[in-house]
Structure 1
Amino acid sequence: MNEHYPFVNLPLPYPYDALEPYIDTQTMYLHHDRLQQRYVANLNGILSNYPQLQNKSLEELLSNTESLPSEVRQSIINNAGGVYNHTIYFFGMTNSMTRTQAEVLYPAIMQYFGTIEQFFDEFKKYALAIFGSGYAWLVVDSNGALKIVTTPNQNSPISDGLCVVAGIDCWEHAYFLKRFNDRAAYIEDWFHVVSWEAADERYKACVNAKS
């Protein structure tokens, strides 16, 4: 994750075509190199005028939004959220041929959702219910429990005190070139490329932070 201003658009951890046939090459290129780059540039432009914020990480900016200057608060939420959310999304996927199992997260999913299939069904229901643009997230709440939440636009769960395990970008730009307006098909595609290893590491970090 980016440490502080000036933020950079971190390179993808895989080639643009690595997620084919589920996430197409052109979408990955445009999503990362154009859209994500815009959020990075916008955020740096805002923070260039606020030296008191330049040593803060994305997490620090988003975890205490009420402390941000009122005149740029929403712009920072939008753009820092765009950088943070996309980073979780991009780094939370992998080539399906190299995925590994989640040794700690899988039992937790079974505990809270019953079966992996029930978790998939519940997660898909939440992702489909988003009106307009937003994200669906698997998070750990303040009690250490796994739950599914959604956020609109580029809002982030960490602004609500939640710890992110995994998330799917449900803006149409994430899937329109391949799936047009068929979000359900895109969600199914995403399930094929989720990095359970990355999600497992994030889940363990969330649990450790709560203990």
Structure 2
Amino acid sequence: MSQFDLPELEFAPNALEPYIDKETMIIHHDKHHQTYVNNLNAALDKHPELKDQSLTDLVSDLEKVPEDIRTAVRNNGGGHYNHSLFWKILIPGGAHEPSGGLKEAIDSQLGGIDQFKEAFSAAAAGQFGSGWAWLTLDHQNRLRVTSTPNQDSPMMNGETPLLGVDVWEHAYYLKYQNKRPEYIKNFYNVINWDFVSDVYEKVLNKAVQ
């Protein structure tokens, strides 16, 4: 039995149109994400002692992963983690702004939703080559906008990812070609802010326990 499996989408592949097209969603989820899962499982088959490790444990502490599979776990474990989160971040007809405690934190720490979007869009558009842009909680549980190359996760730097946008070309090129900024702009129409807010609250609640 495989250690990790491809999670199912919680919406139809065409549900995010016109912002993210059906064909991109099918290829992105069924092909690219599945490949990360397959490669991760193949790497872990070489080390049965890791079979009880969670994906978070593996990705957040790569130094404990045997050296002969560390790069494979970094790339494919990171890809599996990032995409599993990404599908939950997306929702048809998403709210245009967060609410509650997350909104208050964005207002006080990042200057408001408009300034956050400006910084987040810049991080996403400015990521050279393949990678991700993120809204994270840092070591002091303060919000931060950042980016990572390839399939690296903010967890590798001790941060908790709340919101991420995939800027690998496979995430947008069929529809947007080289117009990455347009894809990023449209991404804001399909964000599941309720999910992002829930993750934020859970992290803070865990920190004060």
Does TM, scored on the shorter chain, surpass 0.5? yes
Whole-angstrom CA distance in 2 between matches of 1:173 and 1:126: 18
Counterpart contact for 2:43–2:69, Cα < 8 Å? yes
Q: Provide the TM-score with structure 1 as the length reference.
A: 0.95
Partner of 1:63: 60
Counterpart contact for 1:65–1:77, Cα < 8 Å? yes
Shift of 1:209: 2.9
Whole-angstrom CA distance in 1 between matches of 2:72 and 2:46: 13
Partner of 2:7: 10
Indicate how the Cα distance of structure 1 residues 174 and 14 shifts in structure 2: closer, same or farther if over 3 A, else same: same
Shift of 1:210: 2.6
Shift of 1:107: 1.1
Partner of 1:173: 170
Shift of 1:189: 1.0
Tell me whether 1:161 sits opposite 2:163 in the alignment.
Answer: no
Tell me whether 1:37 sits opposite 2:34 in the alignment.
Answer: yes
> In structure 1, the residue corresponding to 2:165 is in which secondary structure?
strand
Counterpart contact for 1:102–1:199, Cα < 8 Å? no
Give the share of equivalent positions with the same residue, in percent: 38
Gaps of 5+ in 1: none
Q: Provide the TM-score with structure 2 as the length reference.
A: 0.95
Shift of 1:70: 0.7
Displaced runs of 4 or more, over 4 A: 97-101
Counterpart contact for 1:62–1:158, Cα < 8 Å? yes
Counterpart contact for 2:95–2:191, Cα < 8 Å? no
Whole-angstrom CA distance in 2 between matches of 1:85 and 1:94: 16
Whole-angstrom CA distance in 1 between matches of 2:144 and 2:3: 33
> In structure 1, the residue corresponding to 2:67 is in which secondary structure?
coil
Q: What is the aligned-residue RMSD (CA, Å)?
A: 1.5
Whole-angstrom CA distance in 2 between matches of 1:193 and 1:97: 5
The Cα offsets for residues 80-128 of structure 1, whole Å up to 9 and x where unpaired, read as 0000000111110101167785322111111111121111001101111
The Cα offsets for residues 43-63 of structure 1, whole Å up to 9 and x where unpaired, read as 111111211111111100011
Matched residue count = 208
Counterpart contact for 2:124–2:133, Cα < 8 Å? yes
